[in-house]
Amino acid sequence: ATYSDFVAWQHQLLISPEGEAQIMYWVDELVGAPQVLELPTDSPRPKTCSERGARLQRVVDASLSQRVKALAAQEGTTLNVLLLSVFATLLHRYTGQEDFLIGSPYHGRNERRWEQVLGCFINSLALRMRFPAGLTFRALLQEVRQRFHAALAHADYPFPLVVERLRPQRDPSRPPLFPVMFGYV
């Protein structure tokens, strides 16, 4: 297989009933979602989006790491989903927002035939986080797990085409749809 085979496969997906089902999932999931996350900052927001990001790295001691892994296993989920849920909870508490989007990178190599092919397969997933009153962390964790797996089932639809279809109101100081991204490596 070659990258041009992947491009042809993706084109066929986009014009197929499966492709239509995938875009309808994204439309249903994302329509009406807030695109702004009002994080308290110590400086004004620039007028245009620079795409300069930051990375925060912290070493977690072995004891805490083991407890987090044990919690993920106990709840029947992955470490990625657990940490995504923690990150969403942190953003919810900082902003007070009960509905927002978090982006998540997706490797895009969902079929064995693409594993050895050189090329850019990466896609972005827009995950909707909702925090209704009284939501427990365990309930949130299960909700995030379900949303994450649903997004993965529709991950072949290219994110730029999702943005094009939704036609969100554009602001040059913000990226389209989701204001933050969470990646677990």
DSSP labels, 64-121? HHHHHHHHHHHTT--HHHHHHHHHHHHHHHHH--SEEEEEEEE----SGGGTT--S--
Dmax over Cα atoms in the chain, in whole Å? 50
pLDDT above 80: residue 170? yes
The reported pLDDT for the residue numbered 63 is 95
The reported pLDDT for the residue numbered 89 is 97
The reported pLDDT for the residue numbered 153 is 94
CA distances from 163 to 26, 74, 178 (A): 10, 36, 10
Alpha carbons within 13 angstroms on the beta-carbon side of residue 58 total 5
Task: Judge whether 144 and 88 are in contact, CB under 8 Å.
Answer: yes
The reported pLDDT for the residue numbered 155 is 94
pLDDT one-digit tens code per residue, 116-168: 888 888 899 999 999 999 999 999 999 999 999 999 999 999 999 999 999 88
Q: Residue 113's beta-bridge partner residues?
A: none
Task: Judge whether 79 and 184 are in contact, CB under 8 Å.
Answer: yes
Burial class for 154, CB neighbours closer than 10 Å (0-12, 13-18, 19+):
middle
- Supply angle C-alpha 176, 179, 180, rounded to 5: 130
pLDDT above 80: residue 8? yes
If one counts every other C-beta atom within 10 angstroms of the C-beta of residue 102, the result is 20
pLDDT one-digit tens code per residue, 17-58: 999 999 999 999 999 999 888 888 777 777 787 767 777 788
Q: Would you call 4 helix, strand, or coil by DSSP?
A: helix
CA 22 to chain centre: 16
The reported pLDDT for the residue numbered 39 is 84
The reported pLDDT for the residue numbered 140 is 95
Of 161, 157, 33, give the one whose Cα is nearest residue 101.
33
Residues in the chain: 185
